[in-house]
Amino acid sequence: MYTAVLLTAPSAPSLDPALVEALRNAWGGGDAIWLSPDEVAEFTMALMPENLWKVWEDCQGMGVDLVVIPTAGRRKQMLLADMDSTMIQQECIDELAEEAGVGAQVKDITARAMNGELDFNAALRERVGLLKGLSEGVIMQVLDNRITLMPGGKTLLATMRRNGAYAALVSGGFTAFTSNVARQLGFDENRANTLLVEGGELTGEVGMPILGKQAKVDALEEITARLGIAERDVMAVGDGANDLGMLTRAGLGVALHAKPAVAAQCNVRINFGDLTALLYVQGYSKDAFVD
């Protein structure tokens, strides 16, 4: 059995019941269940639709995210999340670069690296090198004044953890940021790179080894082994090329507002919903959310 989930942006819920009924009838689905009025509906069906991606494109044009996943095992026991542009709305290194006066140069490198055009490790070293001499105190200024949480994150973490799930934040960014974000959102653990500091200033170097694409896969393997769960029990979420390893290995990989090259390789793509979409995809209704 498969479950089809249709979602719209929670800030402007506008899911047309006629669309849900038309799709349900076309695919021979069961009765529609509304997980959130005007925002999210789902139905089950026996087979994976052959025209899924054509219908998905049509739905995108209507501001609707369409997800079709196996019904069995859809509720996950672990969340493995990227941080930059996933759990927060910014790229931390870009915000530091703005303070250092090299914002445009660093943003260009970041965009190309996240789209898979550059080697992640080399791109990270190049960007960190441009931050040499920046005061360590700027990190806290950026956290306080430039970093905002992605909508729905606190609800996602609170709801999954209340239902027994484990949550790990694994970022190609920096521990100075992940430790703060993990604490705010309620992650059980966080992993990231380390910005090296000497005399109160950034040295322009990053601690080795660099946590990149493979390190996120390693985290998936290590944490599931420690918890005694399978990789199919994990939901991973990210937006960049360095997330693809964990997104394709996890039982449910979600490309959230992802770069085109990344989304193209993922079966679950959320472009209009916020992080609560990850709860709806697992079958949680809005009245089951924990604030």
**pLDDT tens digits for 198-236?**
999 999 999 999 988 899 999 999 999 999 999 999 999
- Backbone angle region of 259, left / alpha / beta, with phi > 0 → left and psi within -120 to 50 → alpha: beta
Q: Is 6 within the bounds of a domain?
A: yes
Q: Is 224 within the bounds of a domain?
A: no
pLDDT at residue 261, as a whole number: 87
Q: Is 56 within the bounds of a domain?
A: yes
**pLDDT tens digits for 92-117?**
999 999 988 898 998 999 889 888 89
Q: Is 255 within the bounds of a domain?
A: no
Q: At what angle do helices 175-185 and 153-162 cross, to 10 degrees?
A: 60
**pLDDT tens digits for 138-149?**
999 999 999 999
Q: Phi and psi (nearest 5°) for 89?
A: -90, 0
Range of the domain at 13: 1-72
Q: Is 220 within the bounds of a domain?
A: no
Q: Tell me, yes or no, if 65 is annotated catalytic.
A: no
Counted domains in the chain: 1
Q: Is 21 within the bounds of a domain?
A: yes
Using DSSP's 3-state secondary structure scheme, residue 79 falls into strand
CATH code at position 25: 3.30.70.260
Q: Phi and psi (nearest 5°) for 131?
A: -95, 0
pLDDT at residue 119, as a whole number: 87
Q: Tell me, yes or no, if 287 is annotated catalytic.
A: no
Q: Is 60 within the bounds of a domain?
A: yes
Q: Pick the catalytic residue from 65, 84, 233, 239.
A: 84
Quick check: 193 pLDDT over 90?
A: yes
| Contacts with 22 (C-beta within 8 Å, 6 or more apart), sequence order | none
**pLDDT tens digits for 11-63?**
999 999 999 999 999 999 999 999 999 999 999 999 999 999 999 999 999 99
Q: Pick the catalytic residue from 31, 58, 82, 287.
A: 82
Segments in the chain forming alpha helices (H): 17-26, 52-61, 92-100, 103-114, 120-129, 137-145, 153-162, 175-185, 213-227, 244-249, 260-263, 277-281
Number of Cβ within a 10 Å radius of residue 156? 30
Q: Is 53 within the bounds of a domain?
A: yes
Query: Can the peptide bond before residue 49 be classed as cis, meaning omega within 30 degrees of 0?
Result: no
